A and B are shown apart, each in its own frame.
Chain A
């Protein structure tokens, strides 16, 4: 079982560049999430989705975009990379239901220089 797979694992970007962080899950989970975690800090919710075609903003959506065209995939797009977006990005998914845990991917470590 692959679970939640994130690619790439590491990336260095220059200011102003754009990129897409990929997230895919093979558990048929409806709910998917994107978080960022700055060094020594907690997880901040960027965007989430409750199903294909439905996305919503979290706490820190500025500078990011998402789409959810399939149940499996939930890519995160950075359009104009800024140094403040240097962070570790985690994707997570879970089944429908309030008693369902989130399953996290291994994270993408992104540095913007």
Chain B
């Protein structure tokens, strides 16, 4: 089962904040977040494991709510370089990985 991402698209001005959500109907082992620029391969951002931890990467952070089987990616004070499509990947059995449909983020000057 693929995770469900929301919203599908976000348009921001530089300096604004955004939240991207990733939900699963099945119990998760871990959640991965990746960013993909147009015409390029996905690039790893961070991984969250069971336990409700929160992680940060510069001004991008994420949380994992094990009870809700949901992860959220927080982008604060967005920069032009944050533009791209964000994917969450969910790992149900520590083997295969299923990705959401993606959230297209556009940051404008």
Contacts and interface: CB of A to CB of B under 8 A. Distances in A.
B98 interface: yes
Contacts of B96: 33, 45, 48, 56, 58
Interface in A51-95: 56, 58-59, 90
B9 to A, nearest CB: 11
Interface in A14-35: 31, 33, 35
Contacts of A101: 32, 44, 47
A90 B32 contact: no
A113 interface: no
What band does the interface of chain A fall in when counting residues whose beta carbon is under 8 Å from B?
20 to 34
A43 B100 CA distance: 7
A99 interface: yes
A42 B44 contact: no
Interface stretch (B11-19, B59-67, B74-82, B86-94): B86-94
B4 to A, nearest CB: 11
Given A48-B95, A90-B42, A98-B94, 19 more contacts: A33-B96, A35-B99, A41-B101, A41-B102, A42-B99, A42-B100, A45-B96, A45-B98, A48-B96, A56-B96, A59-B2, A59-B98, A98-B29, A98-B30, A98-B49, A101-B44, A103-B44, A104-B43, A107-B41
29 contacts: A33-B97, A35-B99, A41-B102, A42-B2, A42-B87, A42-B99, A42-B100, A43-B42, A43-B89, A45-B97, A45-B98, A48-B96, A50-B95, A58-B96, A90-B41, A98-B30, A98-B47, A98-B94, A99-B30, A99-B49, A101-B44, A101-B47, A102-B32, A102-B44, A102-B97, A104-B41, A104-B42, A106-B41, A107-B41
